[in-house]
């Protein structure tokens, strides 16, 4: 395999590990609440979006580390990045840590 292919596969696994659809939902709800409550300045929206993406993604990565053994046993979850071996457990933990 080429180095480029391996790198693309690992980046895809980390992207999947962050659960981008969940992150988008959490950030959208947070932004909507901010606009409703505070009126929402552009800088505030950007800051909240950035913090929301980092916090949600990090939480999902740490959760993947914690759930790795259970996920490996279940048919529905055994193909996730950590149980399938595409990402090492320590990589998921360190990627999610602040």
Which residue stretches of the chain have pLDDT < 50? none
The answer to whether the CB of 66 falls within 8 A of the CB of 44 is no
Residue 8 resides in a domain = no
| pLDDT value at residue 1 | 65
Residue 39 per-residue DSSP state: -
Residue 9 resides in a domain = no
The answer to whether the CB of 97 falls within 8 A of the CB of 62 is yes
pLDDT in tens, 5-31: 899 999 999 999 999 999 999 999 999
Residue 86 resides in a domain = yes
Domain enclosing residue 76, as ranges: 14-96
pTM listed for this prediction? 0.87
Domain count, the chain: 1
Residue 7 resides in a domain = no
DSSP 18-33: T-HHHHHHHHHHHHHH
Query: Residue 41 in 3-state DSSP?
Result: coil
* Residue of 98, 90, 12 whose CA lies nearest to 56: 98
Residue 5 resides in a domain = no
Residue 25 resides in a domain = yes
| pLDDT value at residue 37 | 86
Residue 4 resides in a domain = no
């Amino acid at each position: 395999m080429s180095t480029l292919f391996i790198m693309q596969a690992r980046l895809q696994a980390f992207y999947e590990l962050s659960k981008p659809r969940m992150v988008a939902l959490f950030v959208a709800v947070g932004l909507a609440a901010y606009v409703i409550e505070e009126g929402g300045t552009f800088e505030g929206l950007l800051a909240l979006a950035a913090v929301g993406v980092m916090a949600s993604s990090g939480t999902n990565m740490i959760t993947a580390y914690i759930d790795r053994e259970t996920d490996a046993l279940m048919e529905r979850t055994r193909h996730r990045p950590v149980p399938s071996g595409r990402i090492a457990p320590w990589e998921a933990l360190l990627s999610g840590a602040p």
